[in-house]
């Protein structure tokens, strides 16, 4: 019988890897809370309409990548492909959108997209995301960007570059769109079939295409940042000023448009060229029309999503040493049935006192137990046999060559000796 393997495009996170994930998550949570963000959690699946309306029918996510199914009640549901629409749905449904503003929320969650698996891109992936609701000012955009930068700085990731653009608003974008479509039509022979279709639905997406001939066309295309209305220009200028004042270097990159339909004005990406083709480690922007599109009041908003696996790759490429997984403070090795009972009870009491304690569960010989204790990196070992049970004492040995000390078989006494 053949073995069952994990689904294509997914991966296991093994015990020796989990420590890195937990470290990143702790840095993310601590940094987000220092910026005043509260954590939100939302369902793994949502009504399909949430994403078709919120993410946009013209996006690749909705057209090609969603995991959609009918449940037994014949409702159409979708595994969440991104987080922003989920957060917006939640704050509308739970009334948070009518509370004190600005509302600042963050999440750490897994998402699902049916796309070609490759380095830095999988069908199940994890993101840290933040959302700020209720502020139209550039200060909110700057807060989101500086929060992302603070995470990179805290983790010690080097060489990440902030790319920044403004794609305008419903007032100025139609005129820019008209100019862009006219230009693309003049160069339609050089566009890939996908971009020819995008011209009809969301021509800005052509500027994001990675096809070489399309990129050549994009480089000569009209620039959104050069066709902004007065309000959008003032907003973009204010944002750049805030970033300048707070030591955040950036590159104005007119090719940054982001792949979702809901973005307006600010769009940005943090790019790390050392992690390969999927070099965007964080991306986001402003989406001031999304809350009303999903049934809430007119509400300004800005946020981002940051890929956890790409963060891990960036950490490795920056040579950052992540704190290792905890190792046992003590391994208690029993010899005989009575000793096994005593060792098990002592380990349990030590755990209650905050000590990471291990003991034998497999009936191994003393030699095999010592080999196992060394393999799992135990800091101390304590052997209990008939003689130790009779005297009520044993030698606590340091596994790093620090010598031995005689201790009683009492949890409090062992605790003191282990912590010294």
Residue 261 pLDDT exceeds 80: no
Query: Residue 344: which pLDDT band, with cuts at 50, 70 and 90?
Result: very high
pLDDT at residue 307, rounded to an integer: 93
Strand pairing report for 76-79 and 68-70: antiparallel
Domain with CATH 3.40.50.800 in the chain: 330-419
Task: Tell me the three-class secondary structure of 319-344, residue by residue.
Answer: CCCCCCCCCCCEEEEECCHHHHHHHH
Residue 336 pLDDT exceeds 70: yes
Residue 259 pLDDT exceeds 70: no
| Average pLDDT rounded to a whole number, residues 87-106 | 97
pLDDT tens-digit series, residues 124-164: 999 999 999 999 999 999 999 999 999 999 999 988 999 99
Verify cis geometry, omega within 30 degrees of 0, for the bond prior to 102.
yes
Query: Residue 260: which pLDDT band, with cuts at 50, 70 and 90?
Result: low
**Token pair 């570059």 is at which residue?**
161
Residue 220 pLDDT exceeds 90: no
pLDDT at residue 132, rounded to an integer: 98
pLDDT at residue 82, rounded to an integer: 94
Residue 276 pLDDT exceeds 80: no
Give the residue, 91 or 200, on which the prediction is more confident: 91
Residue 104 pLDDT exceeds 80: yes
Please give the share of the chain, as a percent, with pLDDT higher than 90. Answer: 68
Query: Residue 318: which pLDDT band, with cuts at 50, 70 and 90?
Result: confident
Domain with CATH 3.30.930.10 in the chain: 15-172+228-317
Residue 338 pLDDT exceeds 90: yes
Tell me the C-alpha distance between 161 and 152, whole Å. 11
Query: Residue 326: which pLDDT band, with cuts at 50, 70 and 90?
Result: confident
Least confident of 196-210, 273-287, 332-346, 382-396: 196-210
| Average pLDDT rounded to a whole number, residues 314-330 | 88
| Average pLDDT rounded to a whole number, residues 394-407 | 89
Query: Residue 258: which pLDDT band, with cuts at 50, 70 and 90?
Result: confident
In angstroms, the Cα distances linking 135 to 144, 222, 272 are 12, 30, 29
330-419 in CATH: which number?
Answer: 3.40.50.800
15-172+228-317 in CATH: which number?
Answer: 3.30.930.10
pLDDT at residue 341, rounded to an integer: 96
Task: Tell me the three-class secondary structure of the chain, residue by residue.
Answer: CCCCCCCCCCCCCCHHHHHHHHHHHHHHHHHHHHCCCEECCCCCEEEHHHHHHHCCCCCHHHHHHCCEEECCCCCEEEECCCCHHHHHHHHHHCCHHHCCCCEEEEEEEEEECCCCCECCECCEEEEEEEEEECCCCHHHHHHHHHHHHHHHHHHCCCCCEEEEEECCCCCCHHHHHHHHHHHHHHCHHHCCHHHHHHHHHCHHHHHHCCCHHHHHHHHCCCCHHHCCCHHHHHHHHHHHHHHHHCCCCCEECCCCCCCCCCCEEEEEEEECHHHCCCCEEEEEEECCCHHHHCCCCCCCEEEEEEEHHHHHHHHHHCCCCCCCCCCCCEEEEECCHHHHHHHHHHHHHHHHCCCCEEECCCCCCHHHHHHHHHHCCCCEEEEECHHHHHHCEEEEEECCCCCEEEEECCHHHHHHHHHC
């Amino acid at each position: 019988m053949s073995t069952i393997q994990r689904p294509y495009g997914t991966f296991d996170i093994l015990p020796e890897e989990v420590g890195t994930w937990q470290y990143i998550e702790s840095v993310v949570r601590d940094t987000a809370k220092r910026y005043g963000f509260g954590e939100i959690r939302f369902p793994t699946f949502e009504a399909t309409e949430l994403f078709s309306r919120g993410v946009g029918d013209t996006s690749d996510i909705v057209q090609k990548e969603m995991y959609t199914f009918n449940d037994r009640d014949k409702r159409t549901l979708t595994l969440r492909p991104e987080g922003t629409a989920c957060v917006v749905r939640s704050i509308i449904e739970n009334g948070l959108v009518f509370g004190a503003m600005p509302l600042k929320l963050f999440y750490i969650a897994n998402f699902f997209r049916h796309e070609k698996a490759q380095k830095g891109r999988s069908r199940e992936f994890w993101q840290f995301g933040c959302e700020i609701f209720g502020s139209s000012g550039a200060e909110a955009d700057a807060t989101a960007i500086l929060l992302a930068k603070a995470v990179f700085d805290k983790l010690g990731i080097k060489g990440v570059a902030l790319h920044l653009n403004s794609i305008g608003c419903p007032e100025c974008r139609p005129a820019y769109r008209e100019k862009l479509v006219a230009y693309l039509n003049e160069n339609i022979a050089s566009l890939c079939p996908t971009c020819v279709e995008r011209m009809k639905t969301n021509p800005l997406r052509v500027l994001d295409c990675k096809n070489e001939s399309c990129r050549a066309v994009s480089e000569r295309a009209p620039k959104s940042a050069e066709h902004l209305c007065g309000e959008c220009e003032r907003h973009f200028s204010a944002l750049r000023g805030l970033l300048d004042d707070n030591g955040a270097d950036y590159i104005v990159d007119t090719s940054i448009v982001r792949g979702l339909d809901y973005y307006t004005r600010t769009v940005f990406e943090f790019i790390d060229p050392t992690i390969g083709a999927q070099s965007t480690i964080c991306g986001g922007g402003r989406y001031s029309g999304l809350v009303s599109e999903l049934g809430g009041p007119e509400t300004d908003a800005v946020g981002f999503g940051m890929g956890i696996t790409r963060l891990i790759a960036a950490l490795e490429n920056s040579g950052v040493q992540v704190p290792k997984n905890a190792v046992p403070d003590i391994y208690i090795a029993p010899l005989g049935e009575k000793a096994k009972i005593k060792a098990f009870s002592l380990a349990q009491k030590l755990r209650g006192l905050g000590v990471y304690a291990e003991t034998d569960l497999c009936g191994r010989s003393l030699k095999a137990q010592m080999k196992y204790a060394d393999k799992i990196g135990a800091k101390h070992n304590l052997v209990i046999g008939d003689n130790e049970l009779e005297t009520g004492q044993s030698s606590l040995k340091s596994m790093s060559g620090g010598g031995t000390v005689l201790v009683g078989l009492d949890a409090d006494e062992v605790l003191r000796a282990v912590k010294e």
